[in-house]
Amino acid sequence: MIRREAGLLPAGYGKGRSGHLVSDWVELFAPLVAGLPSSVRAPSYLILDSLPFRLRRARSGMGASGLAFTIYAALGQEPDGSKRLLALEAFPGIATSQGLSHWQSFLSSLQGRLSGDPLSIVSDRETPLLKALSQIWPSAKTGDLLQAISSGNPQASRGGGQAAPGPILWYCHHHLKGSIRNLLTKAGIQLPDPLLADLEQAFSTSADWTAYKAQMRARRPYKRFRKATGWLSRQERIIDWQVQNQRFYPASVGALEAYLARLRSHFDDRRGRLLNRERTNRLLLLMLMEENGEADERAYAKAIRQELLQNGGRARPSRQIEDRHGPSLR
């Protein structure tokens, strides 16, 4: 669609510089045809995740991680299963320590557009994300803590019309199982050991989870295994509550990961050429509208024609967002 709409530029535009035609179109016209509403109702469930893009270390100069940039994403989901992408934003991946400031910026901008709070916020247990959430949504707490605060099931409190203390901070079950799996592997446990073989089933019901915990604690507590049982003791109340209440909420970030998988397929081959942050974010805005079913070629053409007519048939000057002091997405 972008390539077709680029044909609306004045005759001769881009002559001798066709390699930049699409990037110039994105710079000039994406702000005209795509935009986020200044205020939207908070979704019932807010799902957060990120998508890192890495380059080969030898070519990237990115240090040990080779991290070039990361796309931060937010998805809204409703009880009827309907979904809507709320935000996509790229940040440079200079160092993992910057993850906190990037999440803070992303979440602050997102919260500023939401009217009200979601019922739950689903994420992995990435430390920078959790720290940012505690600052942007200080009322968000894990289900076991909210239950203690409200002296009852938060879901039941909402159903009864009472004000809830805040959004439920829900840890993705897929990532929780991954943490357990990694700890067990480091402890020397391998398949077909039941602790690994039964892990997927363990999160199905409260009875399954109780049986799995008993199985883990029945093992001889040798030194390497104590890390796994120690982790379980620290997270037990959270997981107990989530397994018991998972019928009420999305249990993982899987719905958002489906969108991010499509983003990766679009960007993987060109990740080394995405150097300008503002231009990349304008492109992401177009992709967000496409994913939400809001991309309208005729509406795009109308907006672009109006812009050109108002300027005597000429496009505004391009290359106004060029990086002056090195790539802004590195």
pLDDT mean across residues, the chain = 84
Grade residue 65 by pLDDT with cuts at 50, 70 and 90: low
Kindly tell me if the per-residue pLDDT of 85 is higher than 50.
yes
Identify residue 219 by its one-letter amino acid code: R
The predicted-structure confidence for 34-60, as pLDDT tens digits, reads as follows 777 778 999 999 999 999 998 875 454
Q: What is the pLDDT of residues 271-293, one digit of tens each?
A: 888 888 988 999 999 999 999 99
Q: What is the pTM of this model?
A: 0.85
